[in-house]
Amino acid sequence: MTSLRPILLVEDNLNDIELTLAAFKQSNLANEIVITRHGGEALDYLYRRAAFQDRIAGHPIVVFLDLKMPKVDGLEVLRQMKSDEFLKVVPVVMLTSSREEADLVKSYQLGVNAYVVKPVGFQQFADAIRQLGMFWAVVNESPPNGIGD
Amino acid sequence: MGLRARLFLLVLLPVIPALLLALFTNVEERRLGASTVEKDAMRIVQLAAASQLGVIEATRQHLVGLSRLPQARGNDLAAFDTFFAGMLKIYADYNDFGLIETNGNLVSSSFGRNGQTNHADRAHFQRALKTQDFAIGDYQAGDGTAKPSLPFGHPVFDQNGRMVRVLYAALDLGVLNNVVAKASLPEGGVIRIFDRKGHILACYPEPEKWVGKSFSDSPVVAAILKKKEGASEIRGLDGVARLYAFTSIRNRQDPVLFVTVGIPASVAFAESKHILVRNLAVLIVIALLTLIAARIYATSYILQPVKTLSETTRQVAAGNLSARTGIGHAPGELNQLAQAFDEMTESLRRQRMENERSATALRESEERVRVVLDTALDAVIIIDDKGLITSWNREAEKIFGWAREESIGQNLASVIIPPRYREAHERGLKHFLATQEEAVLNKRIEITALRRDGREFPVELAITPNRLGDRFIFSAFLRDITERKQAEEEIRKLNATLEQRVQERTAMLEEVNKELEAFSYSVSHDLRAPLRHINGFADMLRQDSASSLSEPGQRHLGVISAAAKQMGTLIDDLLVFSRMGRAEMRRTRVKMDEVVAEVLREMSRDLEGRNIAWNIGPLPEVSVDRSLLKQVWVNLLSNAVKYTRQREQAEIRITCRKNDGAEWEFAVQDNGAGFDMQYAGKLFGVFQRLHQSEAFEGTGIGLANVQRIIVRHGGHAWAEGKVDAGATFYFTLPDIERSRI
C-alpha cells in the first residue's frame, strides 16, 4: 500500500467537523479524512463492520476522537482501541471542549497519545490541529503496515 | 506512815542504843544491888543464927547442968516438980521444965503433971533418946502452958552411964522473937525462923500473925529446908517478891532450925531503879528536845515545803497549771525540787496552751473540712478498712436518704450498694488491703447505687485510698448522675438522629455536588462548544470573505470574535474557581521564595518592556498546597504588574512577617492605580471589578480565587489602597510547621 493512510475524525457536531476540516485544510495534509459521527460508527469503521465492511483494509494513521458523543462516547472508543491488540498501536488524539481533570486523567489512563482542549479561538484550534496532524500523520513514523490489516 | 512519823522515828533511832545501854546498866546495877542486898541478908541471917545459937547453947548448958543433978536419976519426983516450978521463976525465958521417962511419960514438970502426958512421939524426946545427946524439938504450943514454945531434950544417965530419963525444957518463943526483932532489917525486910517441919518459930515483923503456923507445904519453905543455906529471889509467903538469904542452925551436924531473911526487891533494886529512872528521864528529855527540834526543822524546812509542794501538785493535778509552789531560788534539795516542779508546771502550762492552740486549730480545721464537705456538691463518704462508714456529708444525706447519725458506723455495702454488688465490693476491699492493687481506685467510674427507698440510680464514683498510720481509709466522692445519664441518653439519641441527618445531608450534598460537577462539565463542554463555533466561523468568515465585507461589517465580525473569546475566558475562570473549592489540598513544605521566583519567570512575557523595581524580602517555608498557593501568587503578582502599567517607574514590594497571632503575614505592595477603600470589601467577590475592562483586562475572578485558597488554608486575605496611590494585598497563613512539628 503506497497511498497515504487516512485520518479518522470522530465528531458528532457538524460545526466542529467543519471547523476541524478547515483546520486540516490549513495544514495542507494530503491524507484522506474519514469522518464518523459517533463512537459506534468509528468502531464499525475500525473493525470494518456494518457500513464499513467493504472498505479497504488498513488502520487510520491517527484518530481524532471527540470525547463527548451520544451513544458510544470517546472514552469507550479509546478503551476498546487500546485494549485491542492491533488497534492499540493507532495513535489517538482526544479532542474535547472539557477541561475536566477526570476526563483528562481517564484518557491518559486508557493510553491516549494526545489530549487537546479545543480553544475558543479558531486560529489557536487550527494551530493545534496542524501541529498534531503533522506530528502523527507526517513526522511520526507509523508502525509498519500489515499489523492489524 | 507519814513523813512526820518517819522523821520522828529517825530522830528516836539514836535514842534506842542509849536506852539499851541504860537498861543494860540497870541490869548490872540490879545485879550489883542484888548481890549487896544478898550479902547484907546473909550477914543478918548469920548474925541472927548466931544469936539463936547462943540462946540454944544457953538452954543446952542449963539442961546439961540439970541432968547432972542426982535427983534427976532419983525417984523423988515431987521435989522436982517444985524445983522445976522454981526454975520457971528464975528463968522467965522458959515455959516449962520436965523429966520424961524412957517410955515417954512426963513424970515431972514445972506444972507437976506427972504420968499424964507422954512425949514418946515428940521430936525432942525421940532425938534425945536416939542420939543420947542434947536435942532440939519442934514447935509446940500448949502442954501445960498455952504459950508457944520450942522444946529441947537432954538425956539423964545413971552411974553406969545408962540413960534413964530425958530432961525436957520448953523455951518461950518470945525469946527467939526478941532476938530476931533486934536484927537490923532494911525497910520491908522480914526475918523468920523455921523448925524442921516448917513451923515459923520466930518472925519479924508481925510475929503474932505468923508464929506457930506451919508452911511445910509451901514450896518456898520446902526449898529452904532442902537447900539449908543460900540466897535467892523468891515471892514470899506474903506475896511480896523478896531476896531471901537463909541458913540453918545445926545440932550435932543436923540442921534443926532455919533462919531466913527476906529483903524486898524494891529495896534491893532501889539504887539501880533510881539510876535507871534518872537515865531514862535524861534520855526522854533529850529525845523530847530532839523531837521538838526535828519538828521545828521539819515543819519549816521539810514539811512546809513538802506540804506546799503536795498542795500545788494537787492543784496542778486538778488542772490548775498556773499553781506554783512559790519557793524561790534557795539552796537545798527540796527547794531545788520545788523549783524544778515550778519549771515543770510552767512547761506543762506552756505545753497545754500549745495543745489548746493546736486543739483550737484542729477544731477549726475540722470545722473547715466539715463545712467544705457539707457544702460539697458531691456526696463524700469515708470508710475505714473494715468498710464501716466514718464520715457522711450533707450531700450524701440528700442523695441516699440516710441521715449522718444513721449511717456512721454502718457497713457501706449494706447502706448504698445494691445487694448483687456487695460481694464484689467486699472482695475488692479485701483484695486491695492484701495486695494494694487498685482496680477501680483513683479514677472516676460509673456504678449503680442504692437509695434508702430501695430505688437504684446511677452514680459517678471516685474512691481514693489514703494511708492513715498503718491502716487505710477510703474517701468516696459520689454524684448522682441520673440527670446526666438521661441527658447523655438524649444526646446519644440526638447524635444518632444527627448522624442520620448528616448522612442524609451528605447524600444530598453529594447529589448536589454531582449535579454541580455535571453542570460544570456541561458548562465547560456544551457552553464552550457554541462559543468556539461562533468564534471559529467568524474567523473563517474574516479569512475567506474579508474583501466582500463592508467596513462596519468587518468591525462587527471583530466584536463577535472578541465577545466570544471573552466569554470563553470567563467560563474557564469560573470553572477554575469552582474546582478550587472542590479540589483536594495536598500540603507539602513549600519555599515561598521559590514559588514567587517561578511565577515571575512564567510572567516574563508580560514583563517585557516594563520598568519594575522588584523588592522581595525573605520569604519563609510554609506547609501549603503548592499549586494552589502558586495560583495566589500568580493572581496577586499579575494584578500588581497589571495595575502599575501606567507608571513610568513601577515598584512592587513582596514582604512577609510574623503577626500577633503567630501567623505568616504576606504582603504585595505596589504603587499602581490603587482603589477606593470604600469598595475594599468588594475586591474579593466573584466578578467584582473596580476598573473598566478597557483600562485593565480581567474577569474579576482572580481575587475571589485568592480569597478562596487562603481561607482553605486557614488564613484570610484583605487589601488596603487609595485611588492612584497604590494598593497592598495581604494574606496570612498559619504557621503549621510550629503547631505540627
Output the pLDDT for position B113.
62
DSSP per-residue codes, B486-507 = HHHHHHHHHHHHHHHHHHHHHH
Output the pLDDT for position B115.
58
Which residues of chain B, if any, have pLDDT below 50?
Answer: 739-741
B445 touches chain A (CB under 8 A): no
Q: Is residue A148 part of a domain?
A: no
Q: Where are the domains of chain B?
A: 376-480, 486-556, 583-740
C-beta neighbour count of B342 within 10 angstroms: 18
Distance from CA of A126 to the nearest CA of B (A): 9
Query: Choosing among B520, B532, B580, B627, which should be mutated to test the A contact, i.e. which has the most A CBs within 10 A?
Result: B532
If you ran DSSP here, which 8-state letter would residue A135 be given? I
Pairing mode, strands B254-264 and B241-251: antiparallel
The arrangement of secondary structure in B376-480, i.e. its CATH architecture, is 2-Layer Sandwich (3.30)
Q: Which of A15, A100, A119 sits opposite B521 (nearest CB)?
A: A100
Output the pLDDT for position A142.
52
| CATH number of residue A118's parent domain | 3.40.50.2300
Inter-chain contact B529–A13, Cβ cutoff 8 Å?
yes
B541 touches chain A (CB under 8 A): no
Q: Is residue A2 part of a domain?
A: no
Instruction: Measure the CA dihedral B504/B506/B511/B517, to 10°.
Output: 170
Query: Choosing among B522, B526, B531, B535, which should be mutated to test the A contact, i.e. which has the most A CBs within 10 A?
Result: B535
Output the pLDDT for position B619.
92
Query: Can you tell me which residue has the cell 511419960?
Result: B105
Output the pLDDT for position B52.
76
On the question of pLDDT at A143 being above 70, the answer is no
Q: Is residue A135 part of a domain?
A: yes
C-beta neighbour count of B648 within 10 angstroms: 6
Q: Which of B536, B564, B579 sits opposite A19 (nearest CB)?
A: B536
Tell me which chain B residues have a C-beta less than 8 angstroms from the C-beta of A120: 528, 531-532, 535, 564-565, 567-569
CATH superfamily assigned to domain B583-740: Histidine kinase-like ATPase, C-terminal domain (3.30.565.10)
Q: Which of A15, A18, A97 sits opposite B524 (nearest CB)?
A: A97
Burial of A36 (0-12, 13-18, 19+ CB in 10 A): buried
Tell me which chain B residues have a C-beta less than 8 angstroms from the C-beta of A13: 529, 533
Q: Which of B520, B528, B533 sits opposite A19 (nearest CB)?
A: B533
Percent of chain A whose predicted confidence (pLDDT) is above 90? 15
pLDDT band at A2 (very low <50, low <70, confident <90, very high): very low
C-beta neighbour count of B224 within 10 angstroms: 25
Distance from CA of A56 to the nearest CA of B (A): 34
Q: List residues bridging with A96 in a β-sheet.
A: A117
A98 touches chain B (CB under 8 A): yes
Tell me which chain A residues have a C-beta less than 8 angstroms from the C-beta of B520: 100
Q: Is residue A30 part of a domain?
A: yes
Distance CA B176, CA B522 (A): 196
Q: Which of B525, B539, B569 sits opposite A98 (nearest CB)?
A: B525
Tell me which chain B residues have a C-beta less than 8 angstroms from the C-beta of A125: 532, 536
Contact A87, A65 (CB under 8 A): no
* B 59-88 residues inside an 8 A Cβ radius of A: none
* B26-45 pLDDT, tens digit each: 788 777 777 777 777 778 77
Distance CA B121, CA B103 (A): 10
Output the pLDDT for position A80.
92
Q: Is residue A1 part of a domain?
A: no
Output the pLDDT for position B653.
94
B156, HSE (Cβ side, Cα atoms, 13 Å) = 22
A56 touches chain B (CB under 8 A): no
Output the pLDDT for position B741.
39
Instruction: Indicate the helix (H) or strand (E) that contains B727.
Output: strand B727-734
* B41: nearest Cα among B180, B267, B244, B258: B244
Output the pLDDT for position B263.
77
Give, rounded to a whole angstrom, the gap between the first and last alpha carbons of chain B.
94
* B412-430 pLDDT, tens digit each: 888 888 888 888 888 888 8
* A 125-144 residues inside an 8 A Cβ radius of B: 125
B390 touches chain A (CB under 8 A): no
Inter-chain contact B532–A125, Cβ cutoff 8 Å?
yes
Q: Which of A15, A97, A122 sits opposite B528 (nearest CB)?
A: A97
Q: How many domains does chain A have?
A: 1
Output the pLDDT for position B125.
82
Inter-chain contact A97–B575, Cβ cutoff 8 Å?
no
SS3 at position A103: helix
Residue A77 domain boundaries: 7-139
Tell me which chain B residues have a C-beta less than 8 angstroms from the C-beta of A127: none
Distance from CA of A79 to the nearest CA of B (A): 21
Distance CA B245, CA B233 (A): 9
pLDDT band at A148 (very low <50, low <70, confident <90, very high): very low
Q: Which of A13, A68, A120 sits opposite B564 (nearest CB)?
A: A120
Distance CA B203, CA B261 (A): 10
Q: Is residue A109 part of a domain?
A: yes
On the question of pLDDT at A114 being above 90, the answer is no
Distance from CA of A75 to the nearest CA of B (A): 15
Output the pLDDT for position A9.
92
Across chain A, mean pLDDT equals: 82
